[in-house]
Structure 1
């Protein structure tokens, strides 16, 4: 049974989301603020974290920043759950290493879909890389050694993390058309024809350069 840590300072929202998760077969741990959330993440070892952004003392960005500094938490799926939905807010979270960004109130279907996608993606990565050589998604620079430009490397970095064209465009502050154009250049440079193969190549390269 996957364990989810829910970090949310609003009691009613915390209760509602926790109930949805429990009814759908997840084990749920909850934290009322960012500081408590960081402490619980270290002790309960969740499979995924759902975290509000706007919280007193330590906001969601601070939580993510602290956890991503720890090797054991670097690849942990992390989804922001917040009332803010502006593109800049989304880009901030994604650039810090978040895996997804859901705007409250989100539907039960959207919430569960995001969770299942990220858990499945994390399992796939675990199968593709050994424990001592997990992919390090913190920088796109190693992907430039594949013959890519810095911008192409950034696009591939997000594609390898399971992002679609729209998500990648939002994170990088560009258009979907531009992302598609970069992919059209990336595929022949890598000698492949699609996203799946490109992702595997990127993960392999990022695993080789990972400090472990």
Structure 2
């Protein structure tokens, strides 16, 4: 086995020094210098996408677990140096995690959430607030889609909706105007499922046929 002196002589680099810890929990997380791209600041829109990017970013920093961990309990009987050191290390890493999340918020949101004491409390507060709003927005979107009216005098088209494609196809077919009943029944009895693009092509062909008949 090569000694440190031999390694230094052959490579020009000294062997790294390994410093053991009496308790691994007592060591604060070391943030790597090379990590993923920092997410853009969250402004209140597209929370799920921002949340996933921030979670990945914190994972590359070895800090993601502090989004879900409570501080270690330190009982009076455990007031030894090792336990106190472990708690201080946890608080330091939680401080880093919390501030990475806060710095990922727009200034207006930063001012609202900066009072949260831990990374977990902050993360859960954002999750409750914006996942609920996302769900409400989706319900509104479905309602707007189902309220969309198709009439004989209006060209057939599909509004861009962030719903499942199969749902959009069925909803569009169901919304066809009365003059399209025969074609609607034809589409509903087709065994092969269509995507939006195929449906639009068929609707345009049928609309052209109806225009020619007029």
Q: TM-score range by the shorter chain?
A: under 0.3
TM-score w.r.t. structure 1 length?
Answer: 0.23
TM-score by length of 2: 0.23
Larger radius of gyration: 2
